[in-house]
Amino acid sequence: MSTPQPQTPFGALTRRRFLLSRWPWRSLGFVLTSPPVSAVTAGVLALISMPWLIALTYVIDAGAEPNPPQLGLLMFLIVLGTVLVGALGPLVALPLAALERLRLRLVDFRPMASGHRTPGPGLWAWVRTRYTESATWRELAYAVLLATVAPVLFVGLLVLGFAAVTLMLIPVIVWQEGPGQVDFIWSTIDTMGQAVTIGVLGAALLVLLPYPVALLAGAHGALARALLQGRGRGELSAELGAVSRSRARLVDAFEAERRRIERDLHDGAQQRLVTLTLQLGLARLDIPAGSPAADSVADAHDQAKQLMAELRELIRGIHPQILTDRGLPAALGQLADRAAIPVEVRTHIPRRLPGHIEGTAYFVVSEALTNVAKHSGAAAAEVAAHLVADVLVVEVRDDGSGGADPDGGTGLTGLSDRVSVMDGTMVMSSPPGGPTLLRVELPCPQNPPPSA
């Protein structure tokens, strides 16, 4: 099985062949292209925040507390700077963010969306949309960080590279000037052996320099992804609501399709099979007993009756008619009557529940009782279903050997998935030696949100 390729410098740094990969060069390209972008951004932001800079310079030069006229001027400059940054800052941040999302592809292969909403027609609609969404102000925060913090980090990395090159040149300098003529930090280099040692350290530092370069590129990329993509809380809430409504529509469509299949089997295939069984029974009476044809017809008649019984069980498994006609309590009672072990049923459901909730609860109990009969060795089981504060609570308990494992092929994972589709929860307690308790909670408000 092939190892997945890293998507960012952070993922590549742990690889043994990092220095031989493309990541050092991609990281270096990203770091080297950052200073020009940072310088332009810093210059533009400095222009629009010029009143702030003037006020700061004035305070530094004044030294003491300003008098009332000076204080009024300072307040005016601060307010003016705030207005200019708030009005013009997004106009700087928006194109910068678009450029940075393109440049980020050097060090991050994952897809990245802007997070901006689509504005309506007209200039005012564009201004209202852009200035009221959180994505714009996150991009402005990124622009400020790029103009202030990024140059400091780049200078630090530049100093590290300059130091590595300087150390490598020490042997050449000592060879030209002579031993004892070159000072290094707080001491003098007296021999060529010392100079060569320092040069080797410089070469090692230069070889290892791609690691801090990749760290800086990875940190810059992670910050850019955090601020330049994604959506605001309101937009996420709207999308979550849309997903919930879509899931509700899918559940309703699934239930409708299942009932259609049930009707088709009941009204079509089952009726034709009943007719076939009757015709075979009549033919069996007309054929002389003991003849080869009579044996064949009798065998076909028995197989048809067996197939009809299996089809009835299949239809009942798709969606039992009693569940549609009389609701969940009656359907659970029928399940208990058909169970392989004695089952006690206790229910308190004062009203009919939505069809998909009743269907889910029914099949959870049906699968649970099947598991009890097959795997637990229990002598008896209990089923309880209660409606508590608009939540249907279903519990299935048995006195078996316990030790139920969702990964053991007992269908518990499928049950959990089916419950989660309904925004429900499923928990199980099954210690070795028993007993086993399966508890499912399904929300069923009286006024559910519209599915369309």
Pick from 56-70, 101-115, 132-146: least confident: 56-70
Asked if residue 279 and residue 366 are part of one domain, the reply reads no
Q: How far apart are CA 402 and CA 16, in angstroms?
A: 47
Asked if residue 372 and residue 263 are part of one domain, the reply reads no
Say what the pLDDT of residue 266 is.
59
Asked if residue 171 and residue 56 are part of one domain, the reply reads yes
Question: Which tokens is 371 given?
Answer: 């598991």
Is there a domain that residue 411 lies in?
Answer: yes
Indicate if the pLDDT at residue 61 is higher than 60: yes
Tell me the torsion sign for CA atoms 264, 268, 271, 272. negative
Asked if residue 270 and residue 164 are part of one domain, the reply reads no
Contact 412, 367 (CB under 8 A): no
Domain of 437, CATH number, reads: 3.30.565.10
Average pLDDT over residues 258-266: 62
Indicate if the pLDDT at residue 75 is higher than 80: yes
Indicate if the pLDDT at residue 104 is higher than 70: yes
Q: Given pLDDT bands bounded at 50, 70 and 90, which one contains residue 317?
A: low
Q: What is the per-residue pLDDT across 267-301, written as a single tens digit (0 to 9) for each? A: 666 677 777 777 777 777 777 776 777 777 777 77
- Final residue before a domain boundary, out of 290, 318, 346: 318
pTM: 0.52
Q: Comparing 181 with 170, which gets the higher pLDDT? A: 170
Indicate if the pLDDT at residue 185 is higher than 90: no
Domain of residue 295, residue span: 253-318
Question: Which tokens is 105 given?
Answer: 């592809």
Tell me the torsion sign for CA atoms 132, 138, 139, 141. positive
Asked if residue 268 and residue 224 are part of one domain, the reply reads no
Say what the pLDDT of residue 372 is.
84
Question: Which tokens is 332 given?
Answer: 């659970």
Asked if residue 306 and residue 341 are part of one domain, the reply reads no
Q: Which of 280, 170, 218 is nearest to 18 (CA)?
A: 218
Asked if residue 197 and residue 136 are part of one domain, the reply reads yes
Asked if residue 334 and residue 304 are part of one domain, the reply reads no
Q: What is the per-residue pLDDT across 394-425, written as a single tens digit (0 to 9) for each? A: 999 988 888 776 655 556 777 777 787 777 88
Give the phi and the psi of residue 448 in degrees, each rounded to 5.
-65, 155
* Other CB atoms within 10 Å distance of the CB of residue 412: 20
Q: What is the per-residue pLDDT across 370-390, written as a single tens digit (0 to 9) for each? A: 888 887 788 888 999 998 878
Q: Domain total for the chain?
A: 3
Asked if residue 413 and residue 326 are part of one domain, the reply reads yes
